[in-house]
């Protein structure tokens, strides 16, 4: 019994001292941030052939001279969202999900408190 208490005490003291010592660890500051490159300084490797040649033009479908295809793509582009709009929609959906999650956590906490109170009333002291 005494050995067990001593071993628990020794374990707790080792864990406590380890925690305290790790809190005093030397934390170095990061080095200065790297200097950003200007777009003119960035060059593609010569072995990337697709990046310099053979890349389709912005409106490649116009070369096909198909008015129906032109109209279809124009209608699609007019109805599509920009990246900024898509980002706003994603943020809105995320905030709605966070609100829903927060509401369900409150309900669980309230139900937990209610069930504990009922259990206390039923127990004989």
pLDDT, position 40: 80
Query: Residue 70, class by beta-carbon neighbours within 10 Å (0-12 exposed, 13-18 middle, 19+ buried)?
Result: middle
Which residues does 70 contact at the CB level (< 8 Å), separation at least 6?
Answer: 61, 62
pLDDT in tens, 59-106: 888 989 999 999 999 998 888 888 888 899 999 999 998 888 776 665
Report the percentage of the chain scoring pLDDT > 70.
64
Give the side-chain half-sphere CA count within 13 A for 74: 7
Q: First CA to last CA across the chain, in angstroms?
A: 32
How many beta carbons lie within 10 A of that of residue 61, not counting itself? 14
């Amino acid at each position: 019994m005494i050995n067990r208490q001593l071993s628990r005490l020794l374990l707790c003291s080792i864990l406590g001292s380890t925690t305290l010592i790790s809190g005093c660890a030397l934390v170095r500051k990061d080095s200065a941030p790297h200097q950003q490159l200007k777009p003119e300084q960035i060059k593609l490797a010569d072995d990337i052939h697709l990046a310099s040649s053979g890349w389709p033009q912005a409106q490649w479908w116009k070369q096909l001279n198909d008015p129906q295809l032109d109209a279809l793509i124009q209608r699609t582009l007019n109805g599509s969202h920009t990246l900024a709009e898509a980002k706003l929609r994603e943020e809105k959906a995320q905030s709605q999900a966070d609100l829903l999650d927060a509401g369900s956590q409150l309900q669980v906490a309230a139900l937990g408190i209610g069930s504990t109170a009922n259990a206390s009333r039923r127990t004989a002291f």
